[in-house]
Amino acid sequence: MLRLITGIRGATGFGSASTAEEVTDGVDATALTVIITGGASGIGLETARVLALRKAHVIIAARNMEAANEAKQQILNENTSARIDILKLDLSSLKSVKAFADNFLALNLPLNILINNAGIMFCPFQLSEDGIEMQFATNHLGHFYLTNLLLDKMKETAKSTGIEGRIVNLSSVAHLVCPREGIRFQNINDKNSYQDKVAYGQSKLANLLHANELSRRLQEEGANITVNSVHPGLIMTNLMRHSAFLMRILRVFTCLLWKNIPQGAATTCYVALHPTLKGVTGKYFSDCNEYKPSKLARDEVLGRSLWDFSNNLINASQKVIDK
């Protein structure tokens, strides 16, 4: 907490006050192609801007194509040589996730880095079009499915180029605020027991468990791809639209804990690009330094159970779509 408030730098030389540009200074990403979900606003947009500044080819995946076009133009206005493309993606819809993956693969581009950034927070209870609680569907299941659909392309790219692939899941310290059992497998869609903040924490725990289990599987396979999770920090963005009034009040009393957007994107950019993290996988980062997540987040049995549960949800939804 003291390090967060004071901005004291950790072992990496970076801290809570570091910005995305600072942590990627001197990195040449010319050879890299990156997909960023939710790259049209907030820390996703800043991540896209900075990675494009470092000469990566950035694909912004966004639900709102008007906002995505505006984001692209904003980046190009600042950096005329930026390589930016946009593709439509609604993570709450498995059909949309599949369409996005198909559209991207049809471009026959390499894929070095996947940043699972997009999310929703503290929304009222609702079900996705696939009949799954919306925060779990958007924050976890959509990214789980997207990652699986793009994984072969990432393996192929890493093998053909010799460049390590990296997957970054945006989790949160909110993963600590989750159900006692971690993931409510039996009651994932129960409206009566729904609590927006607990459901959000559950989805962020799922992001961590997904990253850790995928990391384990890729290591076992010998694939040249790392998978890590990050906590970006407290940042006032559109993510908080369902609780903006509450967050503004909270910010008055916790002002020293909040970051601006360039600081909020720093840990993502650090984990995605920094050369010192080559080979580092299955870890959790905050303020550009490694931290230990909760005991539940490190539970390998829970991680495997979530993996199977997620696949079963996708398979069940696919059968309905195919009818």
Catalytic residues: 194
Backbone angles phi, psi at 57, to 5 degrees: -85, 115
C-beta separation of 125 from 71 below 8 A: no
Instruction: With H, G, I as helix, E, B as strand and everything else as coil, classify residue 97.
Output: helix
Nearest alpha carbon to residue 282 among 222, 217, 221, 233: 217
CB atoms within 10 A of CB 162: 8
Residue in this structure with the two tokens 């581009």, named with its chain if needed: 109
In whole angstroms, give the CA distance from residue 170 to residue 50: 17
Strand 284-286 and strand 113-116: the pairing is unpaired
Q: What share of the chain is helix, strand, coil (3-state, %, to 5)?
A: 50, 15, 35
- Measure the CA angle with vertex 207, ends 320 and 26; round to 5°: 125
In whole angstroms, give the CA distance from residue 313 to residue 25: 42
Q: How does DSSP assign 152-165, residue by residue?
A: HHHHHHHHHH-PPE
